[in-house]
Amino acid sequence: MTLPEMVEQVRIVCRMRRLSRHTEDCYSGWITRFAAHVRTCPELSRDERVRTYLEKLAPRTSASTQNQALNAIVFLYRDVIKEPLGDLGKWARAKRPARLPTWLSPQEMQRLLDQMPPGTRMMAELAYGSGLRVAELLALRIKDIDLDAHLVTVRGGKGDKDRITVLPRSLMHRLHAHLNRIRVLYDGDRAASAPPIYLPDGLERKFPNAGREWSWFWLWPAASHSTDPRTGIHRRHHVHEDTLGKALKLATRKAGLHKRVTAHTLRHSFATNLLASGASITQVQELLGHNSVETTQVYLHCVPQFAATITSPLDALPAASNILPFHVPSSQSQPLARTA
């Protein structure tokens, strides 16, 4: 099997397993780089090639990047070649540092949102107010928004799982206006007999007319049509995934925030601020769609509940020591003699 044939087979299997397009591109890239490494060491066994490649990544990549490469290689041998890897033995792993997620306080979030234009601001508000990943936000359809029950249904989220999360009540009025605006785009597409929009998981074959229905229309449709890279069909997609990220970067600079704010920072802020306001860890876990509560517990370390009750030792110093003017004694103001 040639490399192009193998990469194409990787993409086919990814689609059969309903993996996201991002995962498909990621795995294809890692497998291409691994194949280049294999050509440099034909004398090594299969397991040795895998170990040496992963160890080569360790000094110059993070633990998550190294683990991503491992997942791609395991996927190649297990699901494409059908020869699963066994125990690789000991090999050098990149150290995984204990990092806290970046999050914004309610005051910082308000400053950020105030610097965003109306369109991307509403996207940011929904991502923050509902705890959505950027892929989940962009994949929303009209039918996934329940304005009466104030709920958002996430379809096919991470791990191909569905879940329900909260819909902020403060967005009700503007969401109604937003739906009226995009209805104009929908009606224009139908009047022009435009191709139906993309439907996941083979639903286009099962329900060939569903892509023309209003309930399946994108909540965040692109302003123009573009070519679907998988099917070659020229139709309307949701807005590009960089749209929100670029708007956040610009708003962060305008708001004078000294943090690196990305679309995922909104999800981190949702979890952290919910916990700080008294929500239980299991409630936040369910809203975020985490498999394990241990994943959610990282947000508890962002705002320790006991911190507000602790008195800093600096605050316990005598008041006089905090108001003494800073000066250099005259005896120390002379330059020091140089010693041999």
Q: What's the one-letter identity of residue 161?
A: K
Kindly name the residue from 37, 93, 190, 264 that is annotated as catalytic.
264
**DSSP-derived secondary structure for 15-65:** HHTT--HHHHHHHHHHHHHHHHHHHH-TTS-HHHHHHHHHHHHGGGS-HHH
- Tell me the C-alpha distance between 226 and 183, whole Å: 19
Interhelix angle for 242-255 vs 263-276, to 10°? 70
Kindly name the residue from 158, 163, 174, 225 that is annotated as catalytic.
158
Tokens 């949102």, residue located: 113
Kindly name the residue from 11, 236, 267, 268 that is annotated as catalytic.
267
Q: What's the one-letter identity of residue 279?
A: A
- Tell me the C-alpha distance between 113 and 40, whole Å: 51
93 tagged catalytic: no
290 tagged catalytic: yes
Kindly name the residue from 11, 133, 237, 238 that is annotated as catalytic.
133
Q: What's the one-letter identity of residue 22?
A: H
- Tell me the C-alpha distance between 94 and 80, whole Å: 27
Distances (CA, A) of 195 to 204, 216, 221: 11, 13, 14
Q: What's the one-letter identity of residue 21?
A: R
Kindly name the residue from 27, 53, 128, 299 that is annotated as catalytic.
299
235 tagged catalytic: no
128 tagged catalytic: no
**DSSP-derived secondary structure for 113-142:** HHTS-HHHHHHHHHHHHHT--HHHHHT-BG
267 tagged catalytic: yes
Distances (CA, A) of 32 to 27, 41, 72, 92, 267: 9, 15, 10, 22, 32
Let me know: does 179 contact 187? Beta carbons within 8 Å.
Answer: no
Let me know: does 104 contact 269? Beta carbons within 8 Å.
Answer: yes
327 tagged catalytic: no
Structure tokens at 51: 């170990």
Q: Annotated active-site positions, please?
A: 133, 158, 264, 267, 290, 299
